Amino acid sequence: MDADKQTQIQAHVRAIAALLYEETAPEQLTTLEGIEVAVRGHLLEQISPQIGLFLSKPLAAPRVGEVGNSRASSAKSASRKPKQRR
């Protein structure tokens, strides 16, 4: 990942952290356990589902019978021998 993308990610992470901090009850931020529970809750409720949506997008796959610009199907074989059927 290039430096520009890393910088963008860090900026977005800081913005998300600020929003989630505002949505956290102040009494949860008084102990390490409370902070851990709050962070875990925010991750599970807000962040993970959105990352899951991004990761679950299907990849574009060719459809059966669809003609495309595949180099494998349009290029001539380098072999001069006829293919043998088994």
Between these two residues, 70 and 25, which has the higher pLDDT value? 25
The confidence band for 3, taking pLDDT boundaries of 50, 70 and 90, is very high
Mean of all residue pLDDT scores within the chain:
81
Regarding pTM above 0.75, the answer is no
Q: What are the sequence ranges of the domains in the chain? A: 26-57
Residue 55, judged by CB atoms within 10 A of its CB (0-12, 13-18, 19+), counts as exposed
Sign of CA dihedral 18, 21, 5, 61: negative
Beta strands in 25-70 (DSSP E): none
The confidence band for 29, taking pLDDT boundaries of 50, 70 and 90, is very high
